[in-house]
């Protein structure tokens, strides 16, 4: 059985395993994804990044896929994009340039290496939308801005954002892990969101800074999230709480978001390489024998 090489990175504690099909013949089905991401029986991560894969889009270097630890596929991940970009540089796929475009299920993104030391990477995450059709959200087509939603008998004002993937933002006086872990799964799986949704609890610190707690669709409580930071910053900007340059503080660290004139979100933050290793033993046999279903 040939060696199976995997790489692991984290962005502010939000960790991903990179499965490169040229180096790892792993069947990507839900059972295998769950096993790889399991922190007790597998390697442990907040998701899987699968690529590089061939793209048919002109001017795009490659595409890749993003999988949540429950086996579902995500459209986009700000931290995942930065991690995969760093992997392509580290693995020698890209030489002679520090900027290129990548294809995700949630759209094309432009990534750029700002500083090699500390792995500072910037990503144009694409267009921000508050339209219920883009998120999606049940009911008539509208912008979902500070709209009431009853959760566990309590009314919350929600602002919903799509940035290639769906987000539900709640502005609150205080944020806490306990609260987001209580309301997060109830909102994520609420029937008004047919594709489920990511949830952010946001405290406004000042007109340049917000603090957030995150519940990710298919992953649960998360220390940091790039797309969640973009969504929270976009909602706070739309509601008039902040300017267009926002620092987002999370339990795992900080990201910088700029809401640009073209209504795109620009994300900047660090990526850290954790390890590259050879998978072996019983887990390798199980992963290798199961059939591909994706």
Residue 267 inside a domain? The answer is: no
Asked if 42 and 137 sit in the same domain, the reply is: no
Grade residue 284 by pLDDT with cuts at 50, 70 and 90: low
The pLDDT value recorded for residue 126 is 95
Structure confidence by residue, pLDDT tens digits, 238-260 = 999 999 999 999 999 999 999 99
The model's pTM: 0.92
- Total structural domains in the chain? 2
For the chain, where are the alpha helices, taking DSSP H only? 30-37, 78-90, 177-188, 226-238, 281-289
Residue 40 inside a domain? The answer is: yes
Asked if 85 and 170 sit in the same domain, the reply is: no
Residue 228 inside a domain? The answer is: yes
Asked if 187 and 279 sit in the same domain, the reply is: no
Q: Which helix (H) or strand (E) element contains residue 5?
A: strand 4-11
Residue 247 inside a domain? The answer is: yes
Long-range contact pairs involving 273-278 (C-beta distance under 8 Å, separation at least 24): 273/7, 273/9, 273/86, 273/90, 273/119, 274/8, 274/9, 274/10, 274/15, 275/7, 275/8, 276/5, 276/6, 276/7, 276/8, 277/5, 277/6, 277/8, 278/3, 278/4, 278/5
Asked if 136 and 68 sit in the same domain, the reply is: no
| Whether 124 contacts 110, CB under 8 Å | yes
Asked if 154 and 231 sit in the same domain, the reply is: yes
Q: Six-digit token pair at 217?
A: 């669709």
| Whether 213 contacts 201, CB under 8 Å | yes
Asked if 145 and 185 sit in the same domain, the reply is: yes
The pLDDT value recorded for residue 279 is 80
The pLDDT value recorded for residue 293 is 46
Q: d(Cα 224, Cα 13) in Å, to the nearest integer?
A: 7
Residue 174 inside a domain? The answer is: yes
Please give the full DSSP string across 31-97, using - where no structure is assigned: HHHHHHH-TTTS---S-EEEEEE---STT--EEEEEE-TTSPEES--HHHHHHHHHHHHHTTS--S-
Asked if 95 and 174 sit in the same domain, the reply is: no
Residue 294 inside a domain? The answer is: no
Unique residue bearing structure tokens 């978001």: 257
Residue 37 inside a domain? The answer is: yes
Residue 1 pLDDT > 50: no
Residue 64 inside a domain? The answer is: yes
What is the Cβ-side half-sphere exposure of residue 77, based on CA atoms within 13 angstroms? 31
Structure confidence by residue, pLDDT tens digits, 261-274 = 999 999 999 999 99
The pLDDT value recorded for residue 277 is 87
Structure confidence by residue, pLDDT tens digits, 56-113 = 999 999 999 999 999 999 999 999 999 999 999 999 998 888 999 999 999 999 999 9
Q: What is the mean pLDDT of residues 128-135?
A: 98
- What CATH code is carried by the domain that includes residue 54? 3.10.310.10
Q: Six-digit token pair at 290?
A: 């199961």
Q: Which domain holds residue 54?
A: 4-125+272-289
Asked if 44 and 150 sit in the same domain, the reply is: no
Structure confidence by residue, pLDDT tens digits, 161-214 = 999 999 999 999 999 999 999 999 999 999 999 999 999 999 999 999 999 999
Q: What is the largest CA-CA distance in the chain?
A: 58
Closest to 197 measured CA to CA, from 236, 227, 173? 227
Residue 225 or 282, more confident: 225
| Whether 77 contacts 66, CB under 8 Å | yes
Structure confidence by residue, pLDDT tens digits, 227-237 = 999 999 999 99
Asked if 197 and 157 sit in the same domain, the reply is: yes
């Amino acid at each position: 059985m040939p060696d199976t090489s995997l790489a692991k990175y984290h962005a502010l504690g939000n960790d991903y395993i990179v499965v490169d099909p040229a180096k790892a013949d792993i069947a990507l089905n839900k059972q295998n994804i769950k096993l790889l991401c399991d922190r007790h029986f597998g390697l442990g991560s907040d998701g899987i990044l699968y690529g590089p894969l061939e793209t048919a889009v002109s001017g795009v270097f490659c595409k890749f896929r993003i999988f949540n630890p429950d086996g579902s596929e995500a459209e986009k991940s700000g931290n995942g994009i930065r991690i995969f970009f760093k992997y392509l540089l580290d693995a020698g796929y890209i030489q002679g340039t520090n900027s290129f475009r990548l294809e995700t299920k949630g759209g094309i993104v432009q990534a750029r290496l700002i500083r090699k030391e500390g792995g500072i990477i910037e990503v144009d995450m694409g267009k921000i939308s508050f339209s219920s059709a883009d998120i999606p959200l049940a009911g008539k087509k509208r912008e979902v801005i500070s709209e009431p939603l009853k959760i566990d008998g309590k009314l919350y004002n929600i602002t919903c954002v799509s940035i290639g993937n769906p987000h539900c933002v709640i502005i609150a006086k205080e944020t806490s892990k306990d609260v987001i872990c209580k309301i997060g799964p109830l909102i994520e799986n609420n029937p008004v969101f047919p594709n489920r949704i990511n949830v952010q609890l946001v405290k406004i610190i000042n007109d340049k800074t917000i603090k957030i707690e995150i519940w990710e669709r298919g992953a649960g409580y998360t220390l940091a999230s790039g797309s969640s930071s973009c969504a929270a910053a976009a909602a706070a900007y739309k509601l008039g709480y902040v300017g267009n340059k926002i620092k987002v503080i999370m339990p795992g660290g900080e990201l910088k978001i700029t809401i640009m004139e073209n209504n795109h979100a620009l994300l900047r933050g660090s990526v850290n390489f954790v390890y590259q290793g050879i998978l072996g033993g019983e887990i390798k046999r199980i992963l290798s024998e199961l059939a591909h279903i994706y």
